[in-house]
Amino acid sequence: MKEHLEKLDHLLKLITNKIEEAISKKQLIEIRNAYLSKKAEINTMLSILKSLTPEERSVFGQKINSVREHLFQLYEQKSNLIDRADLTDKLNKEQIDLSLPSVNYTSGGVNPVFLVRDEILNIFIEMGYEVKEGRDVESDYYNFELMNIPKNHPSRDMQDSFYFSESLLLRTHTSPAQARVMEEKKGELIKVVCPGKCYRRDNDDMTHSHQFMQIEGLLVGQNINLGHLKATLDLFIKKMFGPKREIRLVSSYFPFTEPSVEVEVSCAECDGQGCPTCKHTGYIEILGAGMVHPDVLKMSGYDPEIYSGFAFGIGVERVAMLRYQIDDIRRIYQNDVRFLKQFK
């Protein structure tokens, strides 16, 4: 019995020393395998219990259990200590040197036509309008017929386009979105803006491009009149160009509206006094609008005896050019970084 207890004391000292001296995870695992595994002496010594008297068994049993418990605890503590030290070491090694020069990333800008499109849309969204998109590839029926522009109508001449077949083309304006929205809403009240690209067979010059962007607006309800249209556009212009701008409606013609108007805004350059920018008229034409033609309402399923509405078509490049004093529409599409990087 005595020698068993001495043996235990000896093991306790030996293993405690080993654990205390260990400085790496690897050493610690070696110690575990050699001294704390199932086959290690500290565990195999349990079999001695069988050969002891009951009193001895109680003394030795308590002793061996407390020794084992102590050693496992010691092992656990050391293991945690080494883990923490390893982590600190790793973090120290991976420290970032903030004084190093950074990598130069060049970030792109947003094309002014998209900046202005979003700005216009946001103004109308604030007024409670919903955004709906039409289709770039449109049928003759929607692009022309439903917009009250039948075959051989003279206004088709100004809107030649790129045709896929006799009846399928790249839309020449966003107005066909009006018909698509009316068909979808089937008699409900409508308040939408429809942005998108349009295409025409045009000779490109400072103010014309074969591809351009429009935002169509459509409001259909009951007892809607020209006053509502004027108030809406006046608010839009003031939000877009500032509270000092005034609009005026000039009589015009579009097949899909009656009456039709051109909307002009007082020139910001000369405050309406007349200058080269406004060709000495004091005003700049910026969009077409009007009261939705009864036939257009009827063709898309709205009874013109009950419903009335207004529509407008905004040329986004036009607004962008005024907004940013861009002298030539082609700059918007030429992808010249010297131009584009001004819009970050």
Interaction pattern, residues 151-190, with ligand DAH; x per rule: CB under 6 A: ----------------------x-x---------------
Nearest distance in Å: CB 188, ligand DAH: 19
Nearest distance in Å: CB 243, ligand DAH: 25
Where are the strands (E) in 181-320, listed by range?
190-199, 211-221, 247-254, 257-266, 283-292, 308-315
195 binds ligand DAH (CB under 6 A): no
The number of beta carbons lying within 10 Å of the beta carbon of residue 199 is: 21
Residue 213 backbone dihedrals phi, psi, to 5 degrees = -120, 140
Closer Cβ to ligand DAH, 257 or 300, answer by number: 257
- Which residues are CB-neighbours of 221 under 8 A, at least 6 positions away? 189, 190, 307, 308, 309
d(CA 250, CA 247): 10
Sheet holding 190-199, edge to edge: 130-131, 190-199, 211-221, 308-315, 283-292, 257-266, 247-254
Nearest distance in Å: CB 244, ligand DAH: 26
Residues, the chain: 344
What is the pairing mode between strands 308-315 and 211-221? antiparallel
Among 138, 140, 216, 264, binds ligand DAH (CB under 6 A): 216
The number of beta carbons lying within 10 Å of the beta carbon of residue 287 is: 22
289 binds ligand DAH (CB under 6 A): yes
Distance, CA of 311 to chain centre: 29
Q: Which residue is nearest to ligand DAH (CB)?
A: 313
255 binds ligand DAH (CB under 6 A): no
Nearest distance in Å: CB 292, ligand DAH: 8
Q: Quick one: which segment of 9-17, 60-68, 102-110, 282-290 binds ligand DAH (CB under 6 A)?
A: 282-290
300 binds ligand DAH (CB under 6 A): no
Total residues interacting with ligand DAH, rule: CB under 6 A = 11
d(CA 120, CA 114): 10
- Which residues are CB-neighbours of 168 under 8 A, at least 6 positions away? 137, 138, 139, 140
Q: Quick one: which segment of 55-63, 81-89, 235-243, 288-296 binds ligand DAH (CB under 6 A)?
A: 288-296
Q: Report yes or no: 180 and 141 within 8 Å, Cβ to Cβ.
A: no
Q: Quick one: which segment of 56-64, 95-103, 184-192, 310-318 binds ligand DAH (CB under 6 A)?
A: 310-318
Q: Could you identify the residue written with the tokens 């998108």?
A: 196
307 binds ligand DAH (CB under 6 A): no
Nearest distance in Å: CB 299, ligand DAH: 15
Closer Cβ to ligand DAH, 174 or 266, answer by number: 174
Nearest distance in Å: CB 214, ligand DAH: 6
Among 18, 179, 313, 316, binds ligand DAH (CB under 6 A): 313
Among 196, 272, 288, 309, binds ligand DAH (CB under 6 A): 288
What is the DSSP secondary structure assignment for residue 103, as one 8-state letter?
A: P
Which residues would be at the binding site for ligand DAH (CB under 6 A)?
A: 173, 175, 216, 254, 257, 288-290, 311-313
